[in-house]
């Protein structure tokens, strides 16, 4: 039985989203979450997943969302980030079904200082729910890992209750993920603080489960955001297995993997590390840095190959009067970016076992 026997194509939310993650957990694969900043990058991700018959997660960061709306907009009080995220989600909704795959539309890291962004998106979800009986977004991520554990859980719970009412999924983060992304710099943090403890996971699982089962946990196990030189970081995906075992012991449940884990900061990790993380209940993995590189590489390779056709509007190696329009049409060179990015998205899917799942 494939995923499309369980959920419809298009954006999935609520119980259907839960079914998708349960299916992934049961079948030992994870779905990559691709950071998108434009309709071009959204399309590249959707096309990639469609061609390998798999579900995909489209996610917008606070900065990516502002970019989606246009860099010319002022982002005071997170206005551009709210408008851009909502526009992005609406765009994904408009096209997702045509690609014939289940699509999860998600917002990425939201730290405490960015909460107005979160509030704005949630207001749009509530409005959408009134009209359509489901939220606009499938899920949102709240990152209060910089705060104390108590404040983190308490604030998440406050939002979780509001989100449970509209069947919107919450992804939270506990433990510090190193590196720097969207302005949060943890590169100087002591290594021992990078690893989440099983008691922390249980505290979250217990408190959240009383409200809803629509949530997942991004637990630090040595992850680093952004790029880094290989060998600088020690990932311990086996810790996730220990967390699961600890929760199973508390719950006395039959399911060996009661917690939905999310893998952040996984750029550059080995296949073995990814496989072990997935085996231990990771159902979503963020992919950003590598697809950014792939998008750029598509343009670079195109330029290198067509250099002689891209210097003037008229005149190329074939003759002085030859027009170059078809070489500098954005549909041509941006398409090369998309094709290159799509390939990288498929590679991410492949690494996570997310191939041929429909």
Binding site for Zn ion (CB under 5 A): 173, 177, 264
- Helix 271-279 with 238-251: angle, nearest 10 deg: 0
User: Residue 95: which H helix or E strand, with range?
Assistant: helix 79-96
Q: Of 175 and 198, which CB lies nearer to Zn ion in the complex structure? A: 175
Q: Of 264 and 344, which CB lies nearer to Zn ion in the complex structure? A: 264
CB of 146 to Zn ion, least distance (A): 11
CB of 352 to Zn ion, least distance (A): 17
CB of 19 to Zn ion, least distance (A): 25
Asked about 108 being catalytic, the answer comes back as yes
Residues 341 and 291 sit within 8 Å (Cβ to Cβ):
yes
Alpha-carbon distance of 222 to 203, in angstroms, equals: 20
The residue among 245, 296, 271 whose CA lies nearest residue 352 is 271
State phi, psi for 216 to the nearest 5 degrees: -140, 165
What torsion, rounded to 10 degrees, do the Cα atoms 49, 53, 54, 60 define?
20
Residues 31 and 7 sit within 8 Å (Cβ to Cβ):
no
CB of 59 to Zn ion, least distance (A): 12
CB of 184 to Zn ion, least distance (A): 9
Q: Of 173 and 200, which CB lies nearer to Zn ion in the complex structure? A: 173
If one counts every other C-beta atom within 10 angstroms of the C-beta of residue 192, the result is 6
Q: Of 265 and 353, which CB lies nearer to Zn ion in the complex structure? A: 265
CB of 264 to Zn ion, least distance (A): 3
CB of 169 to Zn ion, least distance (A): 16
Q: Which of the residues 74, 108, 125, 185 is marked catalytic?
A: 108
The residue among 294, 272, 269, 303 whose CA lies nearest residue 346 is 294
Q: Of 67 and 221, which CB lies nearer to Zn ion in the complex structure? A: 221
Q: Of 81 and 340, which CB lies nearer to Zn ion in the complex structure? A: 81
Q: Of 50 and 284, which CB lies nearer to Zn ion in the complex structure? A: 284
3-state secondary structure of 293: helix
The residue among 112, 205, 111, 128 whose CA lies nearest residue 163 is 128
Alpha-carbon distance of 257 to 33, in angstroms, equals: 21
End-to-end CA distance of the chain: 8
CB-nearest residue to Zn ion:
264
Q: Which own/partner contact pairs does 26-29 have at CB distance under 8 Å and 24+ positions apart?
A: 27/353, 27/357, 28/278, 28/279, 28/353, 29/278, 29/352, 29/353, 29/354, 29/357
Active-site amino acid positions: 108
């Amino acid at each position: 039985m494939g995923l499309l026997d369980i959920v419809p194509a298009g954006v999935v939310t609520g119980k259907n989203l839960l079914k998708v993650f349960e299916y992934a957990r049961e079948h030992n694969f994870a779905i990559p979450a691709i950071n998108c900043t434009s309709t071009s990058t959204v399309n590249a991700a959707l096309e990639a997943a469609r061609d390998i018959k798999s579900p995909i997660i489209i996610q917008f960061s606070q900065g990516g969302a502002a970019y989606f709306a246009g860099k010319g907009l002022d982002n005071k009080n997170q206005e551009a980030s709210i408008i851009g995220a909502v526009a992005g989600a609406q765009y994904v909704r408009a096209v997702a079904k045509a690609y014939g795959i289940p699509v999860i539309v998600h917002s990425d890291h939201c730290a405490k200082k960015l909460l107005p962004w979160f509030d704005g998106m949630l207001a749009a979800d509530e409005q959408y729910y009134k009209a359509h009986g489901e939220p606009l977004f499938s899920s949102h991520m709240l990152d209060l890992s910089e705060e104390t554990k108590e404040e983190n859980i308490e604030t998440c719970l406050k939002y979780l209750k509001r989100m449970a009412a509209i069947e919107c999924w919450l992804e939270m983060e506990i433990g510090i993920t190193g590196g720097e992304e969207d302005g949060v710099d943890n590169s100087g943090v002591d290594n021992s603080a990078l690893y989440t403890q099983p008691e922390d996971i249980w505290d979250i699982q217990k408190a959240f489960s009383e409200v809803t089962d629509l949530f997942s946990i991004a637990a630090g196990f040595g992850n680093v955001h952004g790029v880094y030189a290989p060998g600088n970081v020690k990932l311990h995906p086996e810790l996730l297995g220990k967390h699961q075992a600890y929760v199973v012991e508390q719950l006395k449940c039959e399911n060996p993997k009661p917690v939905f884990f999310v893998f952040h900061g996984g750029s550059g990790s080995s296949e073995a590390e990814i496989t072990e993380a997935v085996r231990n209940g990771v159902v979503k993995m963020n992919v950003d840095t590598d697809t950014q590189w792939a998008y750029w590489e598509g343009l670079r390779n195109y330029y290198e190959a067509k250099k002689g056709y891209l210097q003037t509007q008229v005149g190329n190696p074939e003759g002085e009067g030859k027009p170059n329009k078809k070489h500098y049409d954005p549909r041509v060179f941006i398409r090369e970016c998309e094709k290159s990015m799509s390939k990288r998205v498929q590679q991410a899917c492949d690494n996570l076992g997310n191939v041929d799942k429909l």
